[in-house]
Amino acid sequence: MSNPKGKTYIVEHLDPELGQWSELEYVAIAKETQVAQGTFLLSSLPEAFNVPPALSQVPAFKPERRGVEELYANDKSRVCLLDPSASSDLGPDDGDKFDAFLFGGILGDDPPRDRTSELRKKGFEGRRLGPKQMTTDTAVRVTRMVVEDKIPLDEISYLDFPELKFNDHESTQMPFRYVKGQDGKPMMPEGMIQLIEKDADKSIDDLF
């Protein structure tokens, strides 16, 4: 049986560049993985990729030029792909079966475009995290709760499609499932609410 702690979380970078939104998500994944004494691999990074300091200063974070197929060429069966289209859901026992958990480095979209299919083609065994689309940091958080803390998926408290209220007149609804934090609010990376508010202001300005 493998050690339930010290898991590896791999996000295969699939977008051409690292946007601000992804950076905040990856910093949150890195910090939480650090606390859990695991490793966060950001794989398939382009040659010219500059790792932002907020990420490189977290010891659990490992930037990687190679793709996951090359990294795990001899160990494919130890890697689980978190796949919204998989036929079975992730369970606490999967923490014994797999050492590494693989996620698509893709921003959430509505409706989902199934870009996780790019990883599905590589033949890793897949597991679903329930029927609703999560942000990448939420997907990693939920995976860790299931395989390390052994909490079954249906016992986790979620907030689906929460509305973020910026003031009396402005709010935005997020089309994703989040983990409910102890304060009753959706768990989000530090700085994300401010970024969403800024992006919402920008799109309102674009209308004029």
Q: Which is nearer to ligand SAM, 20 or 57 (CB)?
A: 20
Residue 141's CB is within 10 A of a number of other CB atoms, namely: 20
25: CB partners within 8 A, 6+ apart:
135, 136, 137, 189, 192
Q: Which two tokens stand for residue 105?
A: 């480095």
Q: Mask: binding to ligand SAM, 59-98, rule CB under 6 A, as x and -?
A: -----------------------xxx--------------
- 179 is written with which tokens? 């983990």
* Of 15, 14, 42, 3, the residue nearest 140 (C-alpha): 42
Minimum distance from CB of 26 to ligand SAM (Å)?
Answer: 12
What does DSSP say about strands 39-43 and 8-13: parallel, antiparallel, or unpaired? parallel
Cα–Cα distance for residue pair 140/32, rounded to 1 Å: 9
173 neighbors 163 (Cβ within 8 angstroms): yes
Which of 38, 95, 108, 189 is close enough to bind ligand SAM by CB under 6 A? 108
- Name the residue nearer to ligand SAM (CB basis): 59 or 123: 123
- Considering only 109, 160, 163, 199, the residue that binds ligand SAM (CB under 6 A) is 109
Q: Which of 27, 134, 147, 159 binds ligand SAM (CB under 6 A)?
A: 134
Query: Which one of the spans 68-76, 91-99, 133-141, 147-155 is the region binding ligand SAM (CB under 6 A)?
Result: 133-141
When asked if residue 128 is in the footprint of ligand SAM (CB under 6 A), the reply is yes
Give, in order, the Cα–Cα distances in Å from 113 to each of 10, 108, 116: 21, 9, 8
- Are 30 and 10 in contact, with CB atoms under 8 Å apart? no
CB of 157 to ligand SAM, least distance (A): 16
- Min dist. Cβ of residue 178 to ligand SAM (A): 11
Give yes or no for residue 122 binding ligand SAM (CB under 6 A).
Answer: no
Shortest distance (Å) from residue 63 CB to ligand SAM? 19
Where along the sequence are the contacts to ligand SAM (CB under 6 A)?
82-84, 103-104, 106, 108-109, 112-116, 128-130, 132-136, 139
